[in-house]
């Protein structure tokens, strides 16, 4: 039995097939049709059918989406690919492909991928965060994604920053609340907070480049960023005490974050010692599609 995974992104749709050991036996990518749900659906069906024809094997199917399924309705919610919102993606795919389809959000896919055979492999509980344009989280216990009755377990980015300081901005988030972690820790959040601190408007990537080149002001900006990330993760440790925390997304490429943030977070963790490892996602940008493939092995 192979495990097919689809990563449905805003601009590209990727399919992967893994064997039981997690070896990649197929990977293909197409542009995501824009603004048309029927076209997106047809594209996924075409990619899955073509992969199944090529590999001539039975398969499970999981799909990672930039959103989640509502428990109440089974329809897509919170998706930034707007035409997916309110659609019965799971039902439509199951009736087209005549098989069970498991759908999860992209942060959950990262968490599952890394807990299964990535940086979090071998740890009983894994909390994974993905920090890029957005700021999401996923929670895996004994290899199983935890979802919860509201389908939001691990949703980390729309909690407020704890232990706020006067310099922390209180930007209005798209979710309707102010001061969410996403508004401070995402790539956009880093840019806005740096603007708030320094009066300089430039992209987060430029701050990172200047930091890596040893610029004093950029170093202060990134160190303040580490401090906020350490607080946000200390709150996770206090609440759930995961055996490992895995970091994915653009910010995970900062090599010294894995030393610097754990040095800081002890200040806010309610324990005499903190041994939690902060680990870099092993599968990098492939974690989303690999995690989607592992979804097929999850209990329903």
Report how many residues bind Zn ion under the rule CB under 5 A: 4
Residue 157 CB, nearest distance to Zn ion (Å)? Answer: 7
Q: Which one, 158 or 191, has the nearer CB to Zn ion?
A: 158
Q: Which one, 115 or 190, has the nearer CB to Zn ion?
A: 190
| Binding range to Zn ion, per CB under 5 A, among 81-89, 173-181, 195-203, 286-294 | 173-181
Binding status of residue 57 toward Zn ion by CB under 5 A: no
Residue 172 CB, nearest distance to Zn ion (Å)? Answer: 9
Binding status of residue 103 toward Zn ion by CB under 5 A: no
Binding status of residue 173 toward Zn ion by CB under 5 A: yes
Gap between the Cα atoms of 2 and 228, Å rounded? 41
Q: Which one, 153 or 266, has the nearer CB to Zn ion?
A: 153
Binding pattern for the stretch 256-285 against Zn ion, x by CB under 5 A and - elsewhere: ------------------------------
The residue from 180, 257, 289, 292 that contacts Zn ion (CB under 5 A) is 180
Binding pattern for the stretch 129-168 against Zn ion, x by CB under 5 A and - elsewhere: -----------------------------x----------
Binding site for Zn ion (CB under 5 A): 158, 173, 175, 180
């Amino acid at each position: 039995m192979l495990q097919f995974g689809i990563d449905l992104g805003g601009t590209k749709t990727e399919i992967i097939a893994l064997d039981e050991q997690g070896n990649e036996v197929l990977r293909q990518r197409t542009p995501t049709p824009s603004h048309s749900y029927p076209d997106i659906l047809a594209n996924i069906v075409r990619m899955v059918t073509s992969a199944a024809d090529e590999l001539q094997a039975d398969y499970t199917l999981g799909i990672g989406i930039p959103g989640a399924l509502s428990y109440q309705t089974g329809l897509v919610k919170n998706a930034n690919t707007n035409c997916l919102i309110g659609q019965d993606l799971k039902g439509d795919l199951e009736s087209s492909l005549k098989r069970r389809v498991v759908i999860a959000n992209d942060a959950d896919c990262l968490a599952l991928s890394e807990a299964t055979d990535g940086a979090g492999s071998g740890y009983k509980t894994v909390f994974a965060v993905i920090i890029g344009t957005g700021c999401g989280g996923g929670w895996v216990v004994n290899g199983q994604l935890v979802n919860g009755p509201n389908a939001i377990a691990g949703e980390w980015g729309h909690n407020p920053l704890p232990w706020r300081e006067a310099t922390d901005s209180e930007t209005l988030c798209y979710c309707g609340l102010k001061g969410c972690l996403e508004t401070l820790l995402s790539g956009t959040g880093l840019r806005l907070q740096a603007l708030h601190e320094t009066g300089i408007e430039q992209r987060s990537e430029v701050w990172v480049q200047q930091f890596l080149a040893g610029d004093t002001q950029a170093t202060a900006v990134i160190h303040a960023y580490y401090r906020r990330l350490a607080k946000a993760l200390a709150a996770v440790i206090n609440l759930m005490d995961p055996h490992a925390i895995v970091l994915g997304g653009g910010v995970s490429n900062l090599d010294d974050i894995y030393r610097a943030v754990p040095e800081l977070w002890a200040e806010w963790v309610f324990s005499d010692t903190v041994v939690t490892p902060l680990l870099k996602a092993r599968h990098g940008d492939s974690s989303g599609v690999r995690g989607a493939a592992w979804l097929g092995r999850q209990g329903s």
